[in-house]
């Protein structure tokens, strides 16, 4: 009961105390309804799972049943301050109680339609389509939120992939920060859930490309997705070439065919198909050696094969990813993605020490170093949506001003919501 009261009190923050009240009986009915519902199972952590939306009427927990406005027709208002049958509409930044919009009323935007939505093609208020029903965009080739032709009802989102009304927190075209915030089969690309970018299209990072290669295109002066380059074409790294070898013998990189074992080479490790380019002391020339393998002696990564994740650590070629306690040069070499003081370390869990010479905290936690001036700290679970915060690191998404205080926004993957809400 106390949690429910707190939640509804927050909704009333923007209302004048004399113009709105909480109906205790209605709140009791809402608490009973929620108490009788079971919590849904936690969703997978790699991708979100769309949740069934609440019914058009939220039953006992409808906000309008619990928060009762007192302002009458024509009286000033904010938010939910108008009495039943009226809604608060703004004219020159001043709210006025007016009759609640009905289907077919004229509109210029959703603000004029109350619980309905504005069909911008006809300029009329409409109920909008329900979950799973068809929706569409004015420009099918560029489906952007706010340009829908066939609207979804309030609380739903027109999925840009399926073109059906869906959960706004887990749909094609919805905002995201990582793949776990998108439905299965979609990826977080440019902070929107969608398909990976195809060859030739503009990109910002390898992870957004279907072929995994986002490279600078000299002709258009833009970063674009490209498949592996053919022999004889410009390149910037070995990974960019189908042959696996980008030669920098001249000023610009060119994809070339690697040399066979025993062939004369020019000290470029990757130009040798089987192994590396080594000095033959008998002839004082460089030749392609036998394949490099883990355990071979080395004096640097160039003597191993970085393209095969063989790195030179402590003068020996080692195969990444490396286990905990193995020597490392950087975090990318470790299975844990944490290299501290030259050793791979498991990331800290909730309650573990962090900061300084300690490993960073694992996903879903942050290093709370607020008690000793920042020298060290303790891994803490990321805070729930609405909890007070000081930095973005404490939250799943970000820390932003809300209701007069800095509070966390966003929930983590696998979050469980009571009653599917």
Does a structural domain hold residue 167?
no
Half-sphere exposure of 255 (CA within 13 A, CB side): 15
**Of residues 316, 364, 369, 325, the one with CA closest to residue 345:** 325
- What is residue 7's predicted lDDT score, i.e. its pLDDT? 46
Q: What residues make up the domain containing 83?
A: 1-100
Residue-wise pLDDT for 184-208, tens only, equals 899 999 888 999 999 888 888 888 8
Rg (CA), the chain: 30
Q: How far apart are CA 418 and CA 90, in angstroms?
A: 35
- Is the model's pTM score more than 0.95? no
- What is residue 372's predicted lDDT score, i.e. its pLDDT? 60
The answer, yes or no, to whether residue 33 has pLDDT greater than 90, is: no
Q: Please give the residue that has the higher pLDDT: either 63 or 71.
A: 71
Mean of all residue pLDDT scores within the chain: 82
Does a structural domain hold residue 235?
no
Does a structural domain hold residue 10?
yes
What tokens were used for 147? 């340009």
Does a structural domain hold residue 28?
yes
Half-sphere exposure of 152 (CA within 13 A, CB side): 25
**Of residues 93, 100, 107, 92, the one with CA closest to residue 73:** 100
Does a structural domain hold residue 63?
yes
Does a structural domain hold residue 371?
no
Mean pLDDT across the stretch 22-43? Answer: 79
The domain total for the chain is 1
Does a structural domain hold residue 412?
no
- What is residue 15's predicted lDDT score, i.e. its pLDDT? 61
Does a structural domain hold residue 65?
yes
């Amino acid at each position: 009961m106390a949690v429910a009261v707190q939640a509804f009190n927050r909704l009333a923050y923007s209302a004048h105390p004399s113009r709105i009240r909480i109906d205790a009986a209605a709140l009791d009915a809402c608490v009973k309804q929620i108490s009788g519902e079971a919590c849904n199972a936690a969703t997978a952590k790699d991708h979100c799972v769309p949740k069934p939306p609440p019914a058009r009427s939220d039953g006992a927990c409808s906000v309008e049943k619990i928060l009762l406005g007192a302002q009458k027709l024509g009286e000033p208002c904010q938010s939910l301050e108008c009495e039943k049958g009226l809604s608060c509409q703004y004219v020159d930044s001043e709210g006025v109680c007016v009759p609640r919009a009905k289907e077919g009323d004229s509109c210029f935007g959703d603000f004029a339609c109350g619980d309905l939505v504005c069909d911008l093609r006809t300029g009329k208020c409409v109920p909008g389509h329900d979950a799973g029903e068809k929706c569409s965009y004015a420009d099918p080739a560029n489906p952007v939120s706010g340009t829908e032709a066939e609207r979804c009802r309030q609380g739903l989102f027109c999925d840009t992939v399926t073109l059906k009304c869906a959960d706004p927190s887990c749909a094609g075209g919805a905002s995201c920060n990582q793949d776990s915030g998108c439905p299965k089969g979609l990826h977080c690309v440019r902070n929107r859930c969608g398909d990976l970018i195809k060859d030739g299209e503009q990109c910002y990072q390898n992870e957004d490309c279907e072929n995994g290669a986002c490279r600078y295109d000299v002709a258009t002066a833009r970063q674009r997705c490209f498949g592996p380059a053919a022999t004889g074409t410009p390149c910037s790294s070995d990974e960019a070439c189908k042959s696996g070898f980008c030669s920098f013998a001249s000023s610009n990189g060119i994809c070339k065919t690697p040399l066979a074992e025993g062939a004369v080479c020019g000290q470029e490790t990757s130009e040798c198909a089987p192994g590396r380019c080594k000095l033959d002391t008998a002839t004082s020339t460089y030749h392609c050696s036998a394949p490099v393998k883990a355990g071979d002696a080395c004096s640097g990564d160039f003597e191993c094969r970085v393209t095969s994740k063989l790195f030179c650590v402590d003068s020996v070629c080692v195969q990444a990813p490396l286990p905990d306690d193995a020597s490392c040069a950087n975090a990318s070499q470790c299975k844990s993605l944490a290299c501290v003081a030259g050793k791979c370390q498991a990331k800290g869990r909730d309650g573990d020490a962090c900061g300084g010479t300690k490993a960073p905290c694992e996903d879903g936690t942050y290093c709370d170093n607020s008690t000793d001036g920042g020298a060290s700290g303790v891994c803490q679970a990321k805070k729930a949506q609405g909890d007070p915060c000081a930095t973005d690191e404490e939250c799943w998404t970000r820390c932003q001003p809300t209701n007069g205080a800095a509070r966390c926004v966003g929930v983590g993957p696998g979050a469980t919501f009571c009653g599917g809400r």
